[in-house]
């Protein structure tokens, strides 16, 4: 599959911003099953000097830019073309047991284990807790449960027990509140699943990206109606990282596009920065994910 992704972020300020330093995670990752053929970034007003591209600690593409002319609006438009191929899902029943996975993560560190182990701990938006462990443990009733079987069961339960409600939470809503109210959005459900898995000692990371959505039968696709998406990946010994999408209760496939991954949303926010001035601000995001023929 080939996709064109357009991600437009606009910020309006009620006072002039004198200086702004910004960072983006908007370029899709290069993966064995995903190739970013083209990626452009249009910034208005014009940055002071060229934007700089780099790679962050987790291997994501980041871009930095600075604005030094006073402004009361900021527009960042990212346009990418991505080729996405199939990634067969592993047989959950044959994956390493829950107990053996914990033993492997506790073993002497090798480079691949070192990458996994860093995703076992607290992070700013995913604090570990006994409540999260108790909720997650239901899916791992015995040490011999294949670890992916348990993780899939946890994904199914979160999809069943929690209601998608875009008005229920914000980026700042504590995970404990999400667990209490049982309402939220994809970011919350990814954090919740990660929190449950990490609280049991497993390694799980946050994944940001996009999902190809389809309009109802007979309806035209609405421009800008898509949104960025979030899911998670679980480390499975002998298999590697396996993606899980609790919002849609499925293993991500060719309609998922990966942009970045980290410990939680704070590591991979599409746009973040520090500004001098600006006062109150309003933020709007419009996303389009469109398939096209090669």
Give a yes or no: residue 258 inside a domain: no
The reply to whether 183 and 273 lie within a common domain is: no
pTM exceeding 0.85: yes
Range of the domain at 136: 92-252
Please write the tens of the pLDDT for every residue from 73-95.
Answer: 999 999 999 999 999 999 999 99
Name the more confident of 155 and 224.
155
DSSP conformation class of 246: T
CA distance 167 to 147: 33
User: How many structural domains does the chain have?
Assistant: 2
Give a yes or no: residue 262 inside a domain: no
Give a yes or no: residue 62 inside a domain: yes
The reply to whether 150 and 174 lie within a common domain is: yes
The reply to whether 145 and 178 lie within a common domain is: yes
Percentage of residues in the chain having pLDDT higher than 70: 95
Please write the tens of the pLDDT for every residue from 102-150.
Answer: 999 998 788 878 899 999 999 999 999 999 999 999 999 999 999 999 9
Pairing of strands 183-184, 163-164: parallel
The reply to whether 173 and 240 lie within a common domain is: yes
Give a yes or no: residue 206 inside a domain: yes
Residue 97 dihedral angles phi and psi, to the nearest 5°: -65, 160
Number of alpha helices (DSSP H) and beta strands (DSSP E) in the chain: 7, 13
The reply to whether 234 and 282 lie within a common domain is: no
Average pLDDT value for residue range 276-286? 92
Residue 103 dihedral angles phi and psi, to the nearest 5°: -60, -40
**Mean pLDDT for all residues in the chain:** 93
What number of residues does the chain have? 294
The reply to whether 205 and 282 lie within a common domain is: no
Q: Is 19 exposed, middle or buried (0-12, 13-18, 19+ CB in 10 A)?
A: middle
């Amino acid at each position: 599959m080939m996709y064109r992704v357009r991600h437009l972020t606009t910020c309006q300020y009620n006072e002039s911003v004198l200086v702004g330093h910004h960072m983006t995670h908007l370029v899709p990752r290069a993966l064995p099953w995903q190739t970013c053929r083209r990626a452009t970034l249009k910034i208005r007003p014009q940055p002071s000097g060229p934007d700089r591209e780099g790679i962050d600690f987790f291997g994501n593409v980041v871009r930095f830019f600075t604005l030094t002319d006073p402004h009361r609006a900021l527009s960042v438009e990212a346009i990418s073309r991505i080729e996405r191929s199939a990634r067969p899902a592993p047989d959950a029943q044959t994956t390493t047991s829950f107990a053996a996975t914990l033993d492997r993560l506790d073993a002497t560190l090798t480079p691949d284990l070192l990458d996994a182990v860093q995703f076992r701990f607290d992070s700013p938006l995913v604090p570990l807790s006994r409540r999260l462990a108790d909720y997650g443990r239901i899916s791992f009733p015995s040490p011999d449960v294949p670890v992916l079987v348990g993780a899939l069961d946890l994904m199914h339960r979160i999809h069943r027990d929690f209601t998608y409600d875009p008005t229920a939470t914000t980026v700042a809503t504590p995970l404990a509140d999400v667990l209490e109210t049982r309402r939220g959005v994809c970011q919350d459900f990814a954090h919740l699943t990660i929190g449950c898995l990490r609280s049991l000692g497993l390694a799980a990371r946050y994944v940001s990206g996009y999902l190809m959505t389809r309009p109802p039968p007979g309806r035209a696709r609405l421009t800008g109606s898509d949104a960025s998406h979030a899911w998670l990946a679980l480390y499975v010994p002998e298999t590697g990282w396996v993606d899980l999408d609790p919002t849609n209760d499925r293993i991500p496939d060719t309609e998922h596009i990966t942009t970045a991954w980290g410990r939680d949303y704070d590591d991979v926010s599409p746009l973040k920065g520090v500004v001098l001035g600006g006062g109150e601000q309003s933020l709007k995001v419009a996303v389009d994910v469109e398939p096209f023929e090669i």
